[in-house]
Amino acid sequence: MVGEILIKGVSKTFERTDEQAVQALKDINLHITPGSFVSLIGPSGCGKSTLLRLIAGIIKPDSGELYLDGAAIEKPNWDRGFVFQRHTLFPWLNMRQNIAFGLKIRGLYNKNKSEVDEWINLVGLSGFERSYPHQLSGGMCQRASLARALIMKPKALLMDEPLGALDALMRMNMQDEFLRVWSSRKMTMIMVTHDVDEAVYLSEKVIIMSPRPGEIDRVIDIRLPRPRARSGDNFVAYRKEILDRLHFGGEKLEPNYYL
Ligand SMILES: Nc1ncnc2c1ncn2[C@@H]1O[C@H](COP(=O)(O)OP(=O)(O)OP(=O)(O)O)[C@@H](O)[C@H]1O
Ligand SMILES: [Mg+2]
């Protein structure tokens, strides 16, 4: 299995003109096992997106190292797919062209043409191949973004609040979609979310981060069989454990903490 991510002593500070520098991440150490589903959760501004961007290779750490399957991460590459909160489909390409885009620019399209249709089918978009993003719903665009990233067969899929813009029911449908894709094509999934239920429903590990500078506060292993019952006692117990850790358990008011 591929997709092992190793993060060793990573810190990142952003310099800002006219303002004090912000230390976004401090001494992050993480080992993400190949093929696992991991969620990052923590207050706004604690460095979740920064950590994801570092793994993507979009930005570089000030100190520390990141590895994917033993190779140092230095720049973006096809072996890491990225899905953002709002879809980033090209408005001038139809849904099928958007999904095929990566294959085309890598010269792999002719050999893998049939995979485009397979992915369209897998994310439930058959029949909408010729629709443009503005003619699709938010959830459909997000599913197309997922297919566009996955068709490149990344070792790791990095998702930054991928379902944040969707309504609650669509969100739950998409969570099942993620699980279906993940179980059929085992790859490492790292997802930033603000939704505690979503983290418990999907993940094998939930990584809780503390606010500025962002540090790993706790890693919680979710040992629940699948499919997971959202209202089961064990599910609710994990939910409570995470909320308590985020100071949202309801027993203590911490106005400085917010999601
Ligand atoms: N390019 C940048 N330049 C300056 N500061 C930045 C930059 N990117 C992030 N920061 C700062 O780093 C800190 C962490 O930001 P980041 O976007 O990683 O937080 P986050 O945990 O993803 O928050 P949210 O949940 O609101 O998305 C914030 O204080 C932010 O202002
Ligand atoms: Mg963010």
pLDDT in tens, 31-48: 999 999 999 999 999 999
Average pLDDT, the chain: 93
Question: What's the average model confidence in pLDDT over 221-246?
Answer: 96
Ligand 1 pocket test, pick from 16, 17, 22, 85 with the greatest ligand atom count within 8 Å of Cβ, gives 22
Report which of residues 119 and 92 the model is more confident about.
92
- Measured at the CA of 101, the angle between CA 52 and CA 91, to 5 degrees, comes to 85
- pTM to 2 decimals? 0.92
1 CA from centroid of ligand 2 (Å): 29
Residue 124: burial class (beta carbons within 10 Å; 0-12, 13-18, 19+): middle
Residues with CB under 6 A from ligand 1: 14, 16, 22, 24, 44-50
Q: Answer whether residue 259 shows pLDDT above 80.
A: no
Per-residue pLDDT at 233: 97
Ligand 1 pocket test, pick from 17, 28, 50, 55 with the greatest ligand atom count within 8 Å of Cβ, gives 50
pLDDT per residue as tens digits for the range 186-208? 899 999 999 999 999 999 999 99
108 φ, ψ to 5°?
-110, 0
Which structural domains are found in the chain, ordered by start? 1-79+155-259 (3.40.50.300), 90-153 (no CATH)
179 vs 130: CA distance, rounded Å:
27
Q: Answer whether residue 137 shows pLDDT above 80.
A: yes
Q: Answer whether residue 258 shows pLDDT above 70.
A: no
Q: Do residues 98 and 106 lie in contact, with contact meaning Cβ atoms separated by under 8 Å?
A: no
